[in-house]
Structure 1
Amino acid sequence: MRIHPPGPPVRALPGLLRKLVVDRLGLMKDAAALGDAVRVSMGPKKLYVFNRPDYAKYILADNSANYHKGIGLVEARRVLGDGLLTSDGEVWRNQRRAVQPAFKPGRINQQAGAVAEESVKLVALLRAHEGGGPVDILQEVTGLTLGVLGRTLLDLGLDAYDSIAHSFEEVQDQAMLEMVTQGMVPGWLPLPAQGRFRRARRELYRVADALVADRSARMTGGEPADDALSRIIKAAGEQERDPERVRRRLREELVTLLLAGHETTASTLGWTLHLLAGHPEARERVRAEAREVLDGRVPELGDLHRLTYTTKVVQEAMRLYPPVWVLPRVAQQDDTVGGYHVSAGADVLVCPYVMHRNPALWDDPERFDPERFDPERVASRPRYAYIPFGAGPRFCVGSNLGMMEAVFVTALVTRDLELRPVRGGEAVAEAMLSLRMRGGLPMTVHPVS
């Protein structure tokens, strides 16, 4: 006998459909309130939402081969194609194999100097606003993460490509539109959003073509080629023979790398600095630690393991606001998860945002408490209770670099500057492909008193 997870009453479905459009985090919270496993029927779609660590482990790791990329990411294929975020099977394995060496801890550790230098640039940019009007902190940290991405993974500067971040916003808007309309809005309709998306896609492809041409010329000239972009170029040339297929593959993989390589870290930094501004005691502890560990200098690799409280603050920010807020999958074959039947073709969701706030796993889960990440408290929780970087074979390949950026920037900015929220301003979480801040993060910059 097949046992299906419980679901909401039929009368609740209109409200759930509305939340799918305007409040996806609310939708996930409502689903979690019904239980650790929930099935929601939305027209032809069946959504299975699983909110227990052992269920997440089974879907993301133990039986990951049965669960391919799902809702949201499927719709992003119009621009990302079969990049690392959206591909599956052998295509994904080949892509992961090609870029993995560029993310090895040894190589990432060598980039600590570049990360520190970009962090110092950010502090200087913010200091120029001391005593002035509001500055969008999210925009500034996005510039930083693009700068780090260019230097560490592409071996190229991205300063000339300031259109990247805005173009990705339009891509995410379009992906979410297609998700909530279940693909029923034809792409050829002359809607304003469709036009913005097409312009953004053209711009991203233009940037990708220019970066590939630049790096290819330098590779031909004999420069070392151990960065991620060089490895992507080399793999595409070895595995594809048709020049048009090579060009399309390079576009898709590079655009994916640009999105994944900056968006999630920028989101984490925005939420971390926002939370510290609202929790003065934690902010002062970060500042004191940065002063003690760094002693007025820029951070070095060895400092990463000495900035222990700062690391806990970043981890807690990612608990409350995981940049990858949902992990969508599609079941390839019938399966059983925790005793519940899952039909082939069903959309399966594991939601870190909800699981990270589950009161059965976290005491007073809405409270900001970096001490949750003391080693003994971490050891007392199930391994899959905290998955800000995903889990299983698709665990985020850039997690080490992202953590280094977030810790270095948080330490330097907090040590040297005071960021204050703008009166009346409110940080609003917007669940897109990543958990971004709607309208940015306006703050004023002041010298440390």
Structure 2
Amino acid sequence: MTGPQHEARAARTAPPGPPRRATFRLLKQLFTDRLALMGDNAEAYGDVVRIAIGPKAMYLVNHPDVAKHVLADNAANYHKGIGLQEARRALGDGLLTSDGETWRRQRRTIQPAFQPKRISRQAGIVASEVDALVRRLAAHEEPVEILHEMTGLTLGVLGKTLLDAELGGYDSLGHSFEAVQDQAMFEAVTLSMVPQWVPLKKQLEFRTARDDLRRIADELVEQRLANPVEAGEDVLSRLIASGSAQGASRERMRDELITLLLAGHETTASTLGWAFHLIDEHPEVGARLHAEAVEVLGDRLPEHEDLRRLTYTVAVVEEVMRLYPPVWLLPRIAQADDEIGGYHVPAGSDVVVVPYTLHRHPGFWPDAERFDPDRFTAAERPPRYAYIPFGAGPRYCIGNSLGVMEAVFVLATAARDLELRKVPGKVVEPEAMLSLRVRGGLPMTVHRRDRTRRSEAA
């Protein structure tokens, strides 16, 4: 059969995927190895995969053209989905979890705080925080938990650049956000079938964490109300001004703040953790980073203009985010029937764009598992939607410029002055929660470098 009837029938066809008899194996992977669940099925069934687990079906997207359709061309049909829906219990209707007009209004409110000119003016603050971090690391004689240090750095930068506030006193923030992610993913993989009142350790920790985050957000608002910033351009000032003008509740401001605190620190901290792991695994990359940092920076702190000069450092950050995208999946729910990649997707379906597998697509990334920053120094690059570490379309990450600048400044300054090595015997594994983090931390030893010594790679 050819012609319109054949095309209509093809559009109603479900994508390929594992058979029903594989349900037990799929459930096990959903609980224990979500990356293998995504990767194995992408390899076995192609660029659009239907995975049926119990009463639900997920449609996995692993091709740039289909990702573009879901995230950009027909973005209005796809609202936030699995994982983020469950995170609403802690994040409320913040920018990460909201949809429709609520999301558009929130985005308009905080967008000016992320304008490129304002972010470039924050470079001095970022560089100062990074310098203090590197000095602290250099003083360590015992192994240091690098993920803890990166979380502290990114929270400090977020507070001073976006909130005009000091977050150094809120040591519980990192732990509280871990508990929120753990609970959100637990509810997602159990299809929210475990009642919230069941006193599981995970659920009790979540309640404590949620209360802690709300307390911190309320304190930040109270502090700003007591000490307003004249013509404040920061996010906190804009949220308060917008809330007063629109009669918005304190709860909405709290939701936005908690979301900003999570999204603003977690992704960059995760990227830096993976970067230090990969650099340790590839000492030739560390040597080139050191040589470039000595050449470009000398003895001074990095400046915004150095982002154009630290080309290899930027490429390292990009390659780290290719292999370990901090936002490793982009979950959506189809609001109406649609066709993706030639297959029918019914309304209400979970459609998941998977940057983790998309960034490893053999059709766009030769030798995809290899860590090779020079992919991003070549003149020819893969299609736009083959690489989406910050998402794409209207929901493109609002903080991408600040995150990249922060990561580049950290790697350049650290590579110039230090060499970080994993403690012997440490096994590094990914943990796929709302972000893609290193499971169980990353202890490393710190070794000082000579700034004036040129590496052999120079």
- Local SS of the residue matching 2:445: strand
1:177 equivalent in structure 2: 186
* Equivalent residue letter for 2:440: G
* Equivalent residue letter for 1:424: G
Describe the superposition over 1:231-258 as per-residue Cα deviations: whole angstroms up to 9, x where unpaired: 11222222235xxxx1211111100000
1:27 equivalent in structure 2: 37
1:426 is displaced (CA, Å) by 1.8
Q: Larger deviation: 194-203 or 227-236?
A: 227-236
Unaligned stretches of 5+ residues in structure 2: 1-8, 451-458
1:435 is displaced (CA, Å) by 0.4
In structure 2, what is the Cα distance between the partners aligned to 1:216 and 1:329? Answer: 37
1:375 is displaced (CA, Å) by 4.4
In structure 2, what is the Cα distance between the partners aligned to 1:15 and 1:252? Answer: 37
Match of 1:122 among 128, 133, 146: 133
Matched, 1:226 2:233: yes
In structure 2, what is the Cα distance between the partners aligned to 1:326 and 1:96? Answer: 21
Matched, 1:199 2:211: no
1:44 equivalent in structure 2: 55
Matched, 1:73 2:84: yes
2:453 equivalent in structure 1: none
- Local SS of the residue matching 1:275: helix
In structure 2, what is the Cα distance between the partners aligned to 1:238 and 1:77? Answer: 25
Match of 2:67 among 56, 75, 78: 56
In structure 2, what is the Cα distance between the partners aligned to 1:395 and 1:375? Answer: 24
Describe the superposition over 1:39-88 as per-residue Cα deviations: whole angstroms up to 9, x where unpaired: 11111211001110000000000000000000000000000010000000
- Local SS of the residue matching 2:85: coil
Matched, 1:8 2:9: no
In structure 2, what is the Cα distance between the partners aligned to 1:237 and 1:259? Answer: 24
In structure 1, what is the Cα distance between the partners aligned to 2:38 and 2:240? Answer: 39
Describe the superposition over 1:283-302 as per-residue Cα deviations: whole angstroms up to 9, x where unpaired: 11110000000011111111
- Local SS of the residue matching 2:427: coil
Residues 374-389 of structure 1: pairs in structure 2 closer than 5 A: 374-378=377-381, 381-389=382-390
Matched, 1:17 2:27: yes
* Equivalent residue letter for 2:210: R
- Local SS of the residue matching 2:86: coil
Instruction: Say if 2:23 and 2:54, in contact at 8 Å, map to a contact too.
Output: no
1:368 equivalent in structure 2: 371
In structure 1, what is the Cα distance between the partners aligned to 2:425 and 2:267? Answer: 26
Describe the superposition over 1:225-283 as per-residue Cα deviations: whole angstroms up to 9, x where unpaired: 11011111222222235xxxx12111111000000000000001111111111111111
Q: Please list every run of at least 4 consecutive aligned residues from structure 1 whose deviation after the TM superposition is greater than 3 angstroms.
A: none
- Local SS of the residue matching 1:75: helix
Match of 1:158 among 155, 159, 167: 167
* Equivalent residue letter for 1:336: E
Instruction: Say if 2:338 and 2:344, in contact at 8 Å, map to a contact too.
Output: yes
Instruction: Say if 2:312 and 2:377, in contact at 8 Å, map to a contact too.
Output: no
In structure 1, what is the Cα distance between the partners aligned to 2:82 and 2:200? Answer: 22
Instruction: Say if 2:49 and 2:60, in contact at 8 Å, map to a contact too.
Output: yes
- Local SS of the residue matching 1:376: coil
1:326 equivalent in structure 2: 329
- Local SS of the residue matching 1:76: helix
2:401 equivalent in structure 1: 400
1:377 is displaced (CA, Å) by 2.6
Instruction: Say if 2:176 and 2:213, in contact at 8 Å, map to a contact too.
Output: yes
Describe the superposition over 1:356-377 as per-residue Cα deviations: whole angstroms up to 9, x where unpaired: 0111110100000001012413
Matched, 1:257 2:260: yes
Match of 1:168 among 161, 177, 187: 177
In structure 1, what is the Cα distance between the partners aligned to 2:24 and 2:241? Answer: 50
- Local SS of the residue matching 1:345: coil
- Local SS of the residue matching 1:118: helix
In structure 1, what is the Cα distance between the partners aligned to 2:117 and 2:55? Answer: 48
In structure 1, what is the Cα distance between the partners aligned to 2:343 and 2:187? Answer: 29
In structure 2, what is the Cα distance between the partners aligned to 1:217 and 1:163? Answer: 24
TM-score by length of 2: 0.95
- Local SS of the residue matching 1:108: helix
- Local SS of the residue matching 1:425: coil
1:431 equivalent in structure 2: 432
1:295 equivalent in structure 2: 298
Unaligned stretches of 5+ residues in structure 1: none
- Local SS of the residue matching 2:380: helix
* Equivalent residue letter for 1:186: P
In structure 1, what is the Cα distance between the partners aligned to 2:341 and 2:246? Answer: 40
Residues 128-143 of structure 1: pairs in structure 2 closer than 5 A: 128-129=139-140, 132-143=141-152
In structure 1, what is the Cα distance between the partners aligned to 2:441 and 2:413? Answer: 21
Q: How many residues align?
A: 439
Superposition RMSD on alpha carbons, in Å? 1.0
